Amino acid sequence: MSYASQQMRRLMGKAISSFQMIEDGDRVLVAASGGRDSLSLLWLLRDRLKRIPITYTLMAVHVDIGFGQDTGKSMEAFFKANGFDYRIIESRFGPWAHGMENRENPCFLCSRLKRKAIFETAAALECNKIAFGHQKDDLIETFFLNLFFAGSIGTIQPVQELFNGKLSIIRPLFLLNESTIKRYADEMGFPETDSGCPTAGSSKRAQIRSLLSNLYQTNRKIRGNIFNALQGIGGLNSRS
């Protein structure tokens, strides 16, 4: 087993155990965007079932945002080839969000529409958990997005309970660096599905990512220092 595989298993397992993310009998919807993070999460959550004394159900859900890239077909082929239960949601969320009336922040609207569709699908499938593939770098980037553009201090949380506890969002990869996930996904040969979003490389998140990347090159401890500092924000401390 490669170092990347060991790290993926160890740190994902640590996150799930420390935050009690998944319990026996859970029905978990995995939001599979088609990127390496979400596909790695889906694969490892199924693989984990072989080594633990509990059982849970996985359902992969992909939202095709409608830019004509046929991501739904690509993801369906992946799910079928690898024996995953799945649902494909066809939509026009991307073009709607990039319409003339919403030029200022298309990413926010697109994300909100996708999230709503995923919540509705979770309810229809009676899933009580939704797993997203957000990792350590996503948490850091979101902190700076909120700080710079929303004037607030906070980031996405490893576990987030909604609707009086009837539904929980979990992020089992939050302890992992993006670089480790990339190595693992490359080793596994996972496909990389491009949504065709015209603003993917110029979004506010892309700007933050570029800024942080330049900082990381000056001092390799910066990423870890920021993440450690975020431990003081409510929700990032383990429940165990």
pLDDT tens digits along 31-82 = 999 999 999 999 999 999 999 999 999 999 999 999 988 999 999 999 999 9
Q: Would you list the domain boundaries of the chain?
A: 3-230
Q: How confident is the model at residue 240 (pLDDT cuts 50, 70, 90)?
A: low
Cα–chain-centroid distance for residue 61?
12
CATH of domain 3-230: 3.40.50.620
What is the pTM assigned to this prediction? 0.94
204-218 and 222-230 helices cross at what angle (nearest 10)?
Answer: 120
Q: Is 54 in contact with 23 (CB distance < 8 Å)?
A: yes
Sign of the dihedral defined by the CA atoms of residues 178, 199, 171, 150, in that order:
positive
Strands of the chain, DSSP E: 27-31, 57-64, 86-90, 129-131, 159-162, 167-170
Question: Residue 103 — pLDDT band, cuts 50, 70, 90?
Answer: low
CA nearest neighbour of 27 among 123, 104, 135, 147:
123
